[in-house]
Amino acid sequence: MQKKLILDSDLLDITLNRLCQQLIENHDPFDQTVILGLQPRGIYLAELIHTKLERELKRSIPLGYLDATFHRDDFRRREIPAKASETRVPFVIEGKKVILIDDVLFTGRTVRAALDAMIAFGRPEKVELLVLIDRRRTRDLPIAADYVGKYVDTIDTQRVLVEWKAQGNKQNKIWLINKDK
Amino acid sequence: MSKLSQRHLLGIKNITRGDIELIFETADNFKDVINRPIKKVPSLRDVTIANIFFENSTRTRLSFELAEKRLSADVVNFSASTSSVKKGETLLDTVNNILAMKVDMVVMRHASVGAPHFLSKHIKANIVNAGDGTHEHPTQALLDAFSIREKLGSLTDKKVAIIGDILHSRVALSNIFALQKMGAKVMVCGPPTLLPKFIANTGVLVELDVRKALEWCDVANVLRIQLERQQIKYFPSLREYTLYYGINKKLLDDLNKQIVVMHPGPINRGVELSSDAADSQHSIILDQVENGVAIRMAVLYLLAGATN
């Protein structure tokens, strides 16, 4: 198994700052905007961005977690049912601008399921998607991100590994992994 | 692992502690789902479930049907009283005919012990036992244990007394298995005629005095006197039963401690449980009903999802 570092801690910080600036450009003063991190791994990125935004803007911004497990389209098409995580949406999304946040955008199926899951909480005015890594030309569905940390060209046998400090890793690092066949 | 060790849920006896924990964790998520503005998820969209009830039921059947509908399954209902069973069809023929219409899962209640176990050997669909005679009622035990876990935080070393008609109760046996697997201590209490002869072999404590049982326990799970199953008289009169084994609010308040009162329903108010006790702050009876839907959603989701 080969591992290649795509983003290290310092570079990641620069990327996150840029994403935050882009969000501020479009959403300032953030009074109608909420952030939803996608379970299970998008929540760490959502938390980092949320903390940066609150520090920068000196105001509180609603943050929630969304789990799309029960809305997935591969149920009964895989051997084991996917395990669900907690959904926590402690605010009203009706009429709000929602920023969905996930770590890696690959086939787009998780995002589709997440859109479905989100609608159960109301009708947002607008939904945007922010991802840290966009794996180009791998989409199964017509889904695109509005904010992208980094574009990566990959082939089928490769996988993107995201390590977060919040998950117990030493540093935030993003890797590209070549799976052995 | 997020997969059950069994293809069917026939009883608590043959599932593991890991299975129960997985069902609880999944039910936590479904409990959240059924408290949302839109209480429905599309997981079982292409799954058809037959609810086959050879015995009367209100709560269990409604609860299963709601769970199925909240998971977007297609549901067909069948009750023996209005069917060809009356014309002499066998159980296997009845079920095979239903399955021929492309049904994926069967939820079954039957008056005979082992009926779902028998079916599981002959048909391909996943089977969920919704009560077989006086044997097991696994989803009730799961929701009871889930409700205790929710109220008290965990089941480890909690003392649970099951009080009433143990002999005719499928809830009692399933509860004993589930609670013991989760690390709780279990006591049964009732008149000697309503306690099965070898019940102590399951590792439970046996108590004849309801006051002592209440003093011992953290949770009292009160069972109904199942008059419809009693062919002979097990005690002189209902009034006498109420006098010796009925639980009322005064009895609970005199205990000088926190106690949780449960009942799987239907309650015979004024017999095993007085109205003021059933409606008191000790009671979590309506939480049990709500949790029933979440638990059944979890069981159906996990069984339907394991496709191999």
Closest CA to B110 of B51, B174, B162, B49: B51
B1 in any annotated domain: no
For residue B109, give its domain range.
17-137+289-305
B67 in any annotated domain: yes
Q: Which residues contact B79 (CB under 8 A, 6 or more apart)?
A: B53, B54
pLDDT of residue B29: 93
Pseudo-torsion of CA B3, B9, B12, B18, nearest 10°?
0
B116 plus B187 within the same structural domain: no
pLDDT digits (tens, 9 = 90+) for A42-94: 999 999 999 999 999 999 999 999 999 999 888 888 878 888 888 888 888 99
Q: Report d(CA A165, CA A158) in Å as an integer.
A: 23
B253 plus B142 within the same structural domain: yes
Q: Report d(CA B221, CA A162) in Å as an integer.
A: 48
B3 in any annotated domain: no
Fold classified for A10-23+33-73+85-154:
Rossmann fold (3.40.50)
B12 in any annotated domain: no
B302: nearest CB among A71, A81, A85:
A81
B154 plus B273 within the same structural domain: yes
Q: How far apart are the CA of A118 and the nearest CA of chain B, in angstroms?
A: 10
| Assigned token pair, B97 | 């005919």
Contact predicate B24/A83, CB 8 Å: no
A122 touches chain B (CB under 8 A): yes
The three-class DSSP label of residue A142 is coil
DSSP output for B72-122: T-EEEEEEGGGSGGGGT--HHHHHHHHHTTT--EEEEEESSTTHHHHHHTT
Q: What is the average pLDDT score of chain A?
A: 91
B82 plus B94 within the same structural domain: yes
pLDDT of residue B83: 67
What CATH number is given to the structural domain containing B271?
3.40.50.1370
B41: nearest CB among A71, A78, A122:
A71
A33 touches chain B (CB under 8 A): no
Strand A173-178 to B48-53 pairing: unpaired
B270 plus B172 within the same structural domain: yes
* In chain A, where the domains are located: 10-23+33-73+85-154
pLDDT of residue B181: 96
B96 plus B156 within the same structural domain: no
B143 plus B88 within the same structural domain: no
Q: Report d(CA B14, CA B32) in Å as an integer.
A: 28
Contact predicate B78/B53, CB 8 Å: yes
| Assigned token pair, B194 | 């309503």
List the pLDDT tens digit at each of the 308 positions of chain B.
588 999 999 999 999 999 999 999 999 999 999 998 888 999 998 899 999 999 888 889 999 999 999 999 999 998 877 666 667 788 888 888 888 888 999 999 999 999 999 999 988 899 999 999 999 999 999 999 999 999 999 999 999 999 999 999 999 999 999 999 999 999 999 999 999 989 999 999 999 999 999 999 999 999 998 877 777 788 888 899 999 999 999 999 999 899 999 999 889 999 999 999 999 999 999 999 999 999 999 999 999 988 75
Judge if pTM exceeds 0.90. no
B6 in any annotated domain: no
| Assigned token pair, B240 | 């006498």
Strand A158-163 to A173-178 pairing: antiparallel
DSSP output for B213-281: HHHH-SEEEE----GGG-SS-SSS-HHHHHHHH-B-HHHHHTT-S--EEE--S---BTTTB-HHHHTST
pLDDT of residue A55: 94
A129-138, A153-162, B238-247: the lowest-pLDDT one: A153-162
When divided into structural domains, chain B yields a total of 2
Q: Which residues contact B260 (CB under 8 A, 6 or more apart)?
A: B148, B151, B152, B218, B219, B220, B282, B284
Pseudo-torsion of CA B136, A79, A44, A39, nearest 10°?
-60
Q: How far apart are the CA of B302 and the nearest CA of chain A, in angstroms?
A: 6
B11 in any annotated domain: no
Select from A65, A70, A80, A115 the residue whose CB has the most chain B CBs within 10 Å, as the one to mutate to test that interface: A70
B146 plus B280 within the same structural domain: yes
Q: Which residues contact A87 (CB under 8 A, 6 or more apart)?
A: A39, A64, A65, A66, A67, A117, B29, B32, B33
**Interfacial residues of B (vs A; Cβ cutoff 8 Å):** 1-3, 25-26, 28-29, 32-33, 36-38, 40-44, 46-47, 71, 301-302, 304-308
B41: nearest CB among A70, A78, A121:
A70
B231 plus B267 within the same structural domain: yes
What percent of chain A lies above the pLDDT cut of 90? 61
Closest CA to B133 of B116, B110, B108: B110
Residue A124 with chain B: CB contacts under 8 Å: none
B127 plus B234 within the same structural domain: no
